[in-house]
Chain A
């Protein structure tokens, strides 16, 4: 059976290899890492050895230059048994490194992207603040010009990987007025004045999601990422890819939950109600996959994919939560499925809420 475009037979081979890695080297530790509220940094090193951290990045920085391979990885990582682990990996390669790749200077790429792909230096993207979520234009963390650089003060919230990150790709207010044209990005090294603490969460337990404060942190000018006051474009640039990753992760997560629940059901003698419930789940997964792959095709073709990506994100996140919940209903209180339900609940919130997705779609229709 030919793989559905845009994937090729080569990608299916990679899929098999990634799946073996995930099932043999990550999944067996999921319980332990969830309980510890942490996964070891060694995970990055082991993934880097297999080249998995750099799949989409250019070969000159140690990557493989195949965006689709990264999509395969994302779908398969959803089989690791821990949404927090998948999120922790995705935060580094999927949302923190891409802006450095796209907007960074050669020096910044050598300092952060190259070791990032090797798993030796971990990055996190810091945008959200305690008082600012969906409305990114109103962030308050300030970067004041000072001799040779910036002095940063403020705080960030819900930063995935923010406890362990060596480098924080941070949105700061540089214009006096703030707003869309007063935003910049700084790569902030961990050091004096940077404090992070882990947050307790409903799900994503293995992820070190942090509250971070910056207290008079000096950042050299060379760490300005992209142009000053043009930070809003940097945020927008990666949104589509981040949302595609979320959609792919949801599809992969739903698929594995379905497979396990189906196996459980087939072990017994399911009645018609369970039969239909499982059929509904399978339908929802196929729907999510078809709409996500379509968005991926449009994105890959270099077209404006905002509409397709927004639909894919909106279509898959709430659905993933509902699917996990339906699996839990069939399976009873099985810990792994219960975890999947908790982990999936973030989907309609993170990466732009469902309500924001509807705003984007509605406005694209001229409403």
Chain B
């Protein structure tokens, strides 16, 4: 598997567009979701994923197949790019815009509100907790792989995840089954 990815990447770097697109098709979906949930922006997520894949073609690119899997490397690259953009965004004060959804008329109002609240609650987590939660919950990634991407110990992943979930439980308490909501 690893060798196949390596060979495909080599062909892509040699100018074979088909090999490059195969790599993209295999890998891009979770990366796009991760970038989107880190930045809250489809446009940013699109740019980030594109930059990360094009970065693979650079001769001085830091990916070393003997040390890490491509997927792990790309998640790390997406994370770095996302935080770079978020820092720029902080300079200009661009607010996070909650996603819009379209559902059946009956469910639309509540679902839109819930989705927006959940998105905001996750986005308001500290970066270190947010990234762990997104990878663990939304990408169903093993803790060991998260630790490798973030270059931290598994115990630290567990601790951050636990803190994130405690915060979210409090933030979203009003939406728990049976909870009374005041609007």
Is chain B a partner of chain A in the same complex? Answer: no
Q: Which residues of B contact A (CB under 8 A)?
A: none
